[in-house]
Structure 1
Amino acid sequence: MHILITGGGGFIGQKLARALAAQGRLRGAEISKLVLTDLGEPAAIEAPFEVVRLASDLSDGSSRETLFADHGPFDVIFHLAAVVSGAAEADFDLGIRVNLFGTLGLFEAARAQGNAPVVVYASSMAVHGGMAPDPIVDGVELNPQTSYGAQKAMGELLLTDMSRKGFLDGRGLRLPTVSIRPGKPNAAASSFMSSIFRDTMQGNLSNCPVDESYELWHTAPRTVIRNFIHAAEMDGGALGENRCINLPGRCDSIGAMIAAMTAVAGPEPATRITWDRDPVIEAIVNGWRGRVTLGRAIDLGFVADDSFEDSVRWFLEDDIAR
C-alpha cells in the first residue's frame, strides 16, 4: 500500500500521517510507503514503514511528473494542499493556479497511473452560500460566495466526473472550520476561529474580528482525522452519483465556544481576547453557512463532535505549546 499526502507539512497532513503510522494499515493492506509533500519539506514522523518527505510545488507540471515517476503508483491519495480562503480571495490568480489547475493536474497524474486510486479530496463548506437554505441540506446546489469556495467546487465536479469515468475512486469531504488548530495563524479567513482559543490558552492576546453572536460550523482536529481515514476505507460507490459530501460538524456561536473554553480552561484565556471588527474578514465569513443537517454523512459512518468542550480538552492534551 503506497500513500500520498499532499499538504503533508500542514497540521492536518502531519496528524493524518501520524495516525496512519500508528495503525500501519489502510483498506485491509499493510502500508509500505508514505509520501508527504508540501512547498517546504514536511517534518519527520516515526513510522514502521518508509516515509518520504518532499518539497514540491504540485501546481508545477514538472514537479508532479517527478513525484509520480519516482514514487508512484499510489494506491491512496489524500489531497490536502491548497491556497487557503483569505489568500485565495486576495490573490485570484494564485488561487486558480493552485486550487484549480494544481488539483486538475494532480487528478490527471493519478489517472495516468492506470490503477484508479482512491483519492480523498479536502473540499470546504465554503462551496455553499448565497441563496442556499438555512440549514444546508444534503443535495442543495453549490453557490460559493468566495474565490476559494468556487475553486473547491470546481475540484469537486472534476473529482465526481473522473470517478464516474473510472479514472479515480474519489471521495470529496466538505470540511467545517477546523478548531482548535495548533501552530501559528495562517491566511485563512477562519484563522481567528482557532487563534482566539489556541493563543489565549497559551498566554497571548488574540483578536476576534466578528461579533460574539457569529455562528460557525466547526469540528475538532481529532474528528477530522478520523473522518479522513473513514473516507479512505469506505466503499466509494456508497456515496452515489455525487462523490462529495458535507462532513458532520457542530453549530455554535463564538460566545458559546468561549464559554466552553472557560468551563475547561478557566476564566483567564477569555480576558486575552480583543474585539476589533474587520470588515474584510466579516465579508468573507458572512458568506458561509453555520448550520448543516447531519443525515447522509452520519448514515455513511462519519462522526461528529459531542461538544466544543471536548475540542478544548483535546487541544490541551495534544497540541498546546508548553
Structure 2
Amino acid sequence: MNILIIGGGGVVGQKLAHALAAKGTLRGDAITRLTLADVKDPTGLDAPFDVETVTCDIADAASVNQLIKADTDVIYLLAAIVSAHAEEDFEAGMNINLFGTYNVLERCRALGTAPVVVFTSSIAVYGGDIPNPLGDHSYPNPQTSYGGQKAIGEILINDYSRKGYVDGRAFRLPTISVRPGKPNRAASGFMSSILREPLNGQEAICPVAPDFLHYYLSPRKCVENLIKGAELQAMDLGTNRVMQMPGRVWSIAQLIEAMTAVAGDAPAQLIRWDAQPEVKRIVSGWKWDIHADRAEALGLSADDSFEDNIRYYLEDDKPAA
C-alpha cells in the first residue's frame, strides 16, 4: 500500500502521517511507502515502512505529474490556501484550491489507475439563504472564494469518480480546534488561538462575541475520520461521494468554559475581547446548524465534548509547543 499525503507538512497532514505510521495498514493492506508532499519540504517521521518527503506545487501540473506515480494507491489531498488568504488573494486561492485539485485529478486520469482520493472540503461551502438544518444534500451556497473553490472541488471529485478515473470521497471538515502551532491566515484561526495561547501562558484576542456559535472537531478525531474515510468501500458511497464530517456545535463561551474545566481559571484571564469587523464579516456568513447523518452511519464520529478537544491538545501538542 503506497500512500501520498499532499499537504503533508500541515498540522492535519503531519498528524495523519503519524497515525498511519502507528497503524501500519490501510484498507486491509500493509503500508509499504508513505510520501509527504508540500510546497515546502515537510518534516519526516520514523515509521515501520519507507517514508519520503518531497516538495510539490500543486498549482503546477508538471510538479504534480512528477509527484503522483502509477503505483500510488491512496492520495490524501489536504493542501489548500486557507479562507482569509483565499479571500485576500483571489488568484492564489484559485491556483491552489481549484486548479491544484484539477491538476491532481487530471494526473490520476492520465495514469488510468483509479487511486483512492480523499479530498478535504469545508463547511465554508454552506452559506447564504439556504434553510437549516444543513447536511450532505444541502445545496452549496458559499459566501467566500475559499468556499466556492472547495465546492467546485467536490463536484470534480464526484465527476471523476463517476467516470472511474478515481475512487474519490470528499469530506466537509468542521473547524478543527484546538490546532497546535502558530496562527495561520484562516479566518477561523482565533477559534484555536483563544485556547492554545492561554494554555501556553500567552495573551489571545477574541474578535467575536461569547455567544458566537460554530461547528467544531478536534485534530485527533479529524485524523481518525480521514483514515476511516479512506477505508470506505465504493459500494457504500454510492453516486454522491461528498459528505459532511461529524462535528459538534458550541459557543465561544462554551469553549472557554471547557478550557476552564480542564485547565483551571488562569488561562481564560489571558483572553482579550476585541471586535474585528473583517473577521466577523467572513465567519458570520458561515453556517453551524449542520448534521452528518451519512458519515455517522458509515462509522465516522465527533468528539463527545469540547473538554476532550482541550485534553487532546494538552496530551498531543502542548508538551512540544
Alignment partners' CA distance in 2, 1:110 and 1:25: 23
Q: Deviations over 1:272-291 (max 9, x none)?
A: 11111111111111111112
More divergent stretch after superposition (247-256 vs 127-136):
127-136
Alignment partners' CA distance in 1, 2:136 and 2:95: 29
**1:206 corresponding residue in structure 2:** 204
**2:257 corresponding residue in structure 1:** 259
**1:10 corresponding residue in structure 2:** 10
**Aligned partner letter, 1:212:** P
Any stretches of 5+ residues in structure 2 without a counterpart? none
Aligned residues: 320
**Aligned partner letter, 1:61:** A
Q: Does 1:56 find its partner at 2:56?
A: yes
**2:117 corresponding residue in structure 1:** 119
Query: Which of residues 195, 200, 214 is equivalent to 1:216?
Result: 214
- 1:185 is paired with a residue whose SS is coil
Could you tell me the TM-score, scaled by structure 1's length? 0.97
Q: Is the 8 A contact 2:177 2:219 kept in 1?
A: yes
Alignment partners' CA distance in 2, 1:219 and 1:133: 23
**2:45 corresponding residue in structure 1:** 45
Q: Is the 8 A contact 1:6 1:81 kept in 2?
A: yes
**Aligned partner letter, 2:35:** V
**1:306 corresponding residue in structure 2:** 304
Could you tell me the TM-score, scaled by structure 2's length? 0.98
Once the two structures are TM-superposed, the CA of residue 304 in structure 1 deviates from its matched residue by 1.1
Q: Is the 8 A contact 2:72 2:115 kept in 1?
A: yes
1:157-196 alignment, distance < 5 Å: 157-196=155-194
1:284-295 alignment, distance < 5 Å: 284-295=282-293
Alignment partners' CA distance in 1, 2:124 and 2:192: 17
Q: Does 1:136 find its partner at 2:134?
A: yes
- 1:190 is paired with a residue whose SS is helix
- 2:54 is paired with a residue whose SS is strand
Alignment partners' CA distance in 2, 1:309 and 1:291: 21
Alignment partners' CA distance in 1, 2:297 and 2:11: 28
Alignment partners' CA distance in 2, 1:274 and 1:48: 45
Once the two structures are TM-superposed, the CA of residue 97 in structure 1 deviates from its matched residue by 0.5
**2:71 corresponding residue in structure 1:** 73
Runs of 4+ off more than 3 Å: none
Alignment partners' CA distance in 2, 1:279 and 1:73: 48
Once the two structures are TM-superposed, the CA of residue 39 in structure 1 deviates from its matched residue by 1.1
Alignment partners' CA distance in 2, 1:74 and 1:239: 21
Alignment partners' CA distance in 2, 1:99 and 1:86: 13
Identity %: 52
Q: Is the 8 A contact 1:73 1:113 kept in 2?
A: no
**Aligned partner letter, 2:160:** M
Alignment partners' CA distance in 1, 2:43 and 2:309: 24
**Aligned partner letter, 2:29:** A
Alignment partners' CA distance in 1, 2:78 and 2:136: 23
Q: Deviations over 1:174-203 (max 9, x none)?
A: 000000000000000000000000111001
**2:20 corresponding residue in structure 1:** 20
Query: Which of residues 101, 109, 112 is equivalent to 2:99?
Result: 101
**Aligned partner letter, 1:199:** E
